[in-house]
Every structure is written in structure tokens, then in C-alpha cells.
């Protein structure tokens, strides 16, 4: 039986009816060839043990959303006793002694961890090319990138080597790879999901979320991982409650700034068509403006680099991580361990962030960026006084060829224009496929108010039927 196309609910009912076991499912996924290099490692032993336990729980009459369901985990999220590399030489052999809070929750739900998926080193990138372990390929066209940084998770879902996956999103890393691989990605509200046990990139923006085949699967996993966690003081007291929005009563805003600059015109046409289809179902579509969008990329790259330079400070190779045994003395060991342990992009951001936080420049850059962030957030708050949801493109262009932008970091940063604003404002957003053009997927973002996941998911499930992709 081919389980690769089945959704969580389909798998659950097969498990409950005794049509197949979780061990069978798990073996199927573990044995399926990873032809896109989506995984850094597979957890054969742990997965089969978890599957066996899930089968026992099901036999004893227990039921649960994720009981016995296979899931892949981005390799910057800690599972106790399983290598967690963040796709870096610096942590190539690092085995965490604790579980991330989302992992603890998923263990209780009875999910089965198939393996750890590839990413851009420390989640810095938009193509999954900067991984120490090599690039992941896009399952739709293997000459193209899967997007990043959660490209491994998106490629694993799209290629059917897992049912669903966890990713992390600091400036688009769940939504953009989901769009590039033609699958669904959910970036929750900042604080809706605990970050404890996620290797930090930029702590005021990072958020763990879901990549899945459809909106319902994203909702199921989100329900299971969200909520307050005492180990993350920024996590919110929040419990997810499903809702059912009537789309004929929905008012959706289209931000004009997202449809003028830099967007591929063929992509724009497809998105316009998809919006027209929503109109035919009674959705009210109005134009809105998010006037500070033009400052978003510079604000994002100043804030992330600053936080990156601080978060990366702990990787000195002295207590754990990559360490060069030939270092002459302590100072030399810092140079060797950090100079050789990190790749180019990570070092670029550490240098930039150290500069923007330095005594003479922090007022001009870092503090200024924090002030502008406030305006960007306020744009959204004002817009949401007029509309229920906002619809926007995910990426200005289609998945590009492997290597095409690898040598030009600035060009790569420009791709993040439509996703970083959401992180700066702390909002939830769904990325979902709406059309295909020459077999390449077109993604759309459905953005909601803070903690309005229920609404974007409910609308998303209905839009999915309308776009029928």
C-alpha cells in the first residue's frame, strides 16, 4: 500500500480500523528513497520503537489526533538523544540531552519521529543550499531549490517521504519552501508555540510551525503543539479552538504594496485569478495599504543579524560542538573553532550584527530598526480594523535553479520581501498553493490577526476547495 499521499485523518482511520499498523507505516516511510536529500538523518530505531508503542496504545482502545502518525522534524529542533546539527559543521556531532517542548508534546500525542530534515545552516537562508550536508532538491523539479530554510521539511512532505513535518520560521522559512514545493505551511503567531529547544536564530522572530499536504493536517499538528510553556517566557497562554468562518461574510484585504514591486508578472496574474475565484464565492475583496512595507527588508536584516550575532556567541567549541585540536592557545581556538565551524552566510550575519550592535552604531541601526518595526506592526493592526484577513503572495518569484543565486546574498535577501513583515509584526500566516504555471506552484499567504489561527485555518480549508490544487 502507498501511504505517501494519505492525510493524517486517512491514516488515523486506517490505524483504528486495523487496516495497517503504525509499524508498517513507519517502515514504509523509512524505506522510501530520499531522492531529494530532504533528510540529514533518519531515526530508524527510535521511530520503530515509537510506532510499536503507538500500536499498543491503539490496541488498548486509545485514540488521538497524532497517535501512530509519522512526522519529520527540522534539524534545529532538539530530540533527546538524537543528533541535532542545525546543518552546521559547528554542531555536526551534537546530541542534545533534552527534548524541545514541542517534541515533548508530540511524544505524548504518540507521533513517530521519522528523521531530521535539512535546512540552511542555522536556518539562515532561502534555498537550503547553505547546509553543511549539501543542498536539498525540489521534488517538483530537481534542478531547482526547494526554498528555505525549512527546505528539507517541505521537500519531505512534497516527495511523500513523510506525512507531515515541523519547520521554523524567522522570516519566511516555513512559508516560502512550502510555496516552492506546492505544499501548505503554517507560521503561527509569535508566542503561540514554545520555542524551548529550538536552536535560536533571531529570538524575537523565530517560531516553530507546520508543513503539510493540506490545511487540515497543519491544523491538527498546530493544535497539538501550541500553548503556554513555562520554559519559554514568551509563550502565550493560548488554547486553540477550531472555528468555522462563513466565507461569504469574509472581508479580505489586498495590500497594494505587495503587488507592485519586484513580483513576477506571470505569478501576479495567477494570484489575481485566484483572488477573483474567491470573489465568485462571495468573499468581499478590498484594497488596503501597508505603507511601511518598503522598510521591511532592511529592518528585518538589521534585527535578525543583531540577534544572530548574540545567539551564535555561545558556539565556541569549548564545551560542545566543533573544535580544532591543533589550536595554539585559547584565543587561537576561538578563531579556529568559529572561523572553521561556521559557513559563509552565518559568518556574514555575525559580522553584520556585531557591527549594528556596536557602541558607535547601535542607535543608528539596531534601535532605529526596532522603531521602524513598531510602524510595520502598526500598519497591520490598522489594516485589521477594516478587514478579517489579508491575502498576499509568498515569494516574488518561482523556485529558482540550484546555484542561480548562491553567490549573491543580496539577491537572495530580496526574495524575503513578502514574508519578513509577518514575523516583524508577530502575526500568523498560512502559505498555500493556489495555482500552477508550467508545472511550478504558485503560493498565496493568508494572514490573520494575532492569535487568529482558527480563522486563517478555517478560511484556508475552504479556499483549498475553491482553488482545488
CA 221 to chain centre: 13
Q: Which residue, 205 or 215, is less far from ligand GLN as judged by CB? A: 205
Count of residues binding ligand GLN (CB under 6 A)?
13
Answer yes or no whether residue 336 interacts with ligand GLN by CB under 6 A: no
What is d(CA 169, CA 188) in angstroms, rounded to the nearest whole number?
Answer: 9
Residues 93-132 close enough to bind ligand GLN by CB under 6 A: 123-126
Q: Which residue has the cell 477550531?
A: 242
Answer yes or no whether residue 169 interacts with ligand GLN by CB under 6 A: yes
Q: Which residue, 224 or 304, is less far from ligand GLN as judged by CB? A: 304
Cβ 129 to ligand GLN shortest distance, Å: 12
Return the residue of 151, 171, 182, 428 that touches ligand GLN, per CB under 6 A: 171
Q: Which of 126, 150, 168, 173 is catalytic?
A: 173
Which residue has its beta carbon closest to ligand GLN?
173
Q: Which of 88, 149, 150, 306 is catalytic?
A: 149
CA dihedral 125, 129, 134, 137 (to 10 degrees): 120
Q: Which residue, 86 or 161, is less far from ligand GLN as judged by CB? A: 86
Cβ 126 to ligand GLN shortest distance, Å: 4
CB 221 within 8 A of CB 66: yes
CB 226 within 8 A of CB 238: yes
Cβ 383 to ligand GLN shortest distance, Å: 22
What is d(CA 257, CA 115) in angstroms, rounded to the nearest whole number?
Answer: 40
Stretch that binds ligand GLN, among 106-114, 171-179, 211-219, 285-293 (CB under 6 A): 171-179
- Give rounded-to-5 percent helix, strand, coil for the chain: 40, 15, 45
Stretch that binds ligand GLN, among 165-173, 215-223, 429-437, 460-468 (CB under 6 A): 165-173
Reference 288, options 382, 378, 375; nearest CA is: 382
Is 149 one of the annotated active-site residues of the chain?
yes
Cβ 466 to ligand GLN shortest distance, Å: 28
Reference 168, options 210, 229, 138, 226; nearest CA is: 210
Q: Which residue, 167 or 433, is less far from ligand GLN as judged by CB? A: 167
Q: Mask of contacts with ligand GLN, 278-317, x by CB under 6 A?
A: --------------------------x-------------
Is 274 one of the annotated active-site residues of the chain?
no
Q: Are strands 389-393 and 440-447 parallel, antiparallel or unpaired?
A: antiparallel
Q: What angle do CA 289, 292, 297 make, to 5 degrees?
A: 125
Cβ 395 to ligand GLN shortest distance, Å: 10
Q: What angle do CA 78, 15, 68 make, to 5 degrees?
A: 10
What is d(CA 117, CA 112) in angstroms, rounded to the nearest whole number?
Answer: 14
Cβ 313 to ligand GLN shortest distance, Å: 18
Q: Which residue, 54 or 123, is less far from ligand GLN as judged by CB? A: 123
Q: Which residue, 57 or 347, is less far from ligand GLN as judged by CB? A: 347
Answer yes or no whether residue 149 interacts with ligand GLN by CB under 6 A: yes
Q: Which residue, 147 or 433, is less far from ligand GLN as judged by CB? A: 147
What is d(CA 56, CA 66) in angstroms, rounded to the nearest whole number?
Answer: 14
| Element spanning 338, H or E | helix 330-341
Residues 172-191 close enough to bind ligand GLN by CB under 6 A: 172-173
Q: Cell digits for 160?
A: 511523500
Reference 446, options 253, 158, 199; nearest CA is: 253
Q: Cell digits for 371?
A: 522603531
Cβ 102 to ligand GLN shortest distance, Å: 16
Residues 410-469 close enough to bind ligand GLN by CB under 6 A: 416
What is d(CA 377, CA 302) in angstroms, rounded to the nearest whole number?
Answer: 16
What is d(CA 67, CA 379) in angstroms, rounded to the nearest whole number?
Answer: 41
Reference 98, options 228, 224, 197, 193; nearest CA is: 197
Q: Which of 42, 74, 405, 455 is catalytic?
A: 74
Is 21 one of the annotated active-site residues of the chain?
no
Q: Which residue, 209 or 448, is less far from ligand GLN as judged by CB? A: 209
What is d(CA 423, CA 167) in angstroms, rounded to the nearest whole number?
Answer: 15
Residues 200-259 close enough to bind ligand GLN by CB under 6 A: 201
Q: Cell digits for 400?
A: 529558482
Cβ 165 to ligand GLN shortest distance, Å: 15
Residues in contact with ligand GLN by the rule CB under 6 A:
123-126, 149, 169-173, 201, 304, 416
The catalytic site residues sit at: 74, 149, 173
Amino acid at each position: 500500500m502507498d501511504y505517501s499521499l494519505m492525510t493524517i485523518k486517512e491514516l488515523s482511520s486506517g490505524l483504528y480500523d486495523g487496516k495497517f499498523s503504525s509499524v508498517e507505516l513507519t517502515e514504509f516511510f523509512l524505506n522510501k528513497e530520499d531522492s531529494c536529500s530532504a533528510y540529514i538523518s533518519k531515526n530508524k530505531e527510535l521511530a520503530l520503537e515509537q510506532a510499536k508503542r503507538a500500536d499498543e496504545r491503539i490496541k488498548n482502545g486509545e485514540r488521538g489526533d497524532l497517535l501512530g502518525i509519522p512526522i519529520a522534524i527540522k534539524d534545529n529542533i532538539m530530540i533527546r538523544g538524537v543528533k541535532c546539527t542545525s546543518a552546521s559543521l559547528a554542531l555536526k556531532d551534537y546530541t542534545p540531552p533534552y527534548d524541545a517542548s514541542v517534541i515533548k508534546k508530540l511524544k505524548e500525542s504518540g507521533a513517530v519521529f521519522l528523521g531530521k530534515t535539512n535546512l540552511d545552516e542555522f536556518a539562515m537562508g532561502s534555498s537550503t543550499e547553505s547546509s553543511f550536508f549539501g543542498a536539498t532538491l525540489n521534488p517538483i523539479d530537481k534542478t531547482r531549490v526547494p526554498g528555505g530554510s525549512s527546505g528539507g521539511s517541505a521537500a519531505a512532505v512534497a516527495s511523500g517521504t513523510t506525512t507531515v513535518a515541523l519547520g521554523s520560521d524567522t522570516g519566511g522559512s516555513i512559508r516560502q519552501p512550502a510555496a516552492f514545493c506546492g505544499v501548505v505551511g503554517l507560521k503561527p503567531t509569535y508566542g503561540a508555540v514554545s520555542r524551548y529547544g529550538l536552536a535560536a536564530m533571531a529570538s524575537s522572530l523565530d517560531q516553530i510551525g507546520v508543513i503539510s499536504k493540506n490545511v487540515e493536517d497543519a491544523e491538527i499538528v498546530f493544535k497539538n503543539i501550541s500553548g503556554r510553556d513555562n520554559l519559554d517566557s514568551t509563550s502565550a497562554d493560548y488554547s486553540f479552538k477550531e472555528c468555522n468562518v462563513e466565507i461569504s461574510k469574509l472581508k479580505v484585504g489586498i495590500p497594494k504594496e505587495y503587488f507592485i514591486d519586484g513580483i513576477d508578472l506571470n505569478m501576479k496574474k495567477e494570484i489575481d485569478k485566484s483572488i477573483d475565484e474567491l470573489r465568485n464565492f462571495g468573499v468581499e475583496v478590498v484594497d488596503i495599504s501597508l505603507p511601511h512595507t518598503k522598510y521591511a527588508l532592511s529592518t528585518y536584516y538589521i534585527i535578525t543579524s543583531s540577534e544572530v550575532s548574540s545567539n551564535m556567541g555561545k558556539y565556541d567549541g569549548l564545551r560542545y560542538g566543533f573544535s580544532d585540536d591543533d589550536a595554539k592557545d585559547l584565543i587561537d581556538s576561538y578563531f579556529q573553532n568559529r572561523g572553521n565551524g561556521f559557513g559563509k552566510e552565518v559568518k556574514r550575519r555575525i559580522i553584520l550584527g556585531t557591527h549594528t550592535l556596536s557602541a558607535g552604531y547601535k542607535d543608528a541601526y539596531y534601535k532605529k530598526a526596532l522603531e521602524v518595526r513598531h510602524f510595520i506592526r502598526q500598519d497591520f493592526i490598522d489594516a485589521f480594523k477594516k478587514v478579517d484577513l489579508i491575502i498576499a503572495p509568498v515569494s516574488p518569484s518561482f523556485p529558482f535553479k540550484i546555484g542561480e543565486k548562491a553567490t549573491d546574498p543580496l539577491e537572495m535577501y530580496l526574495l524575503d520581501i513578502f514574508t519578513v513583515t509577518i514575523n516583524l509584526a508577530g502575526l500568523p500566516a498560512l502559505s498555500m498553493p493556489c495555482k500552477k504555471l508550467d508545472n511550478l506552484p504558485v503560493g498565496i499567504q493568508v494572514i490573520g490577526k494575532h492569535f487568529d489561527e482558527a480563522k486563517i485555518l478555517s478560511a484556508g480549508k475552504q479556499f483549498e476547495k475553491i482553488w482545488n490544487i
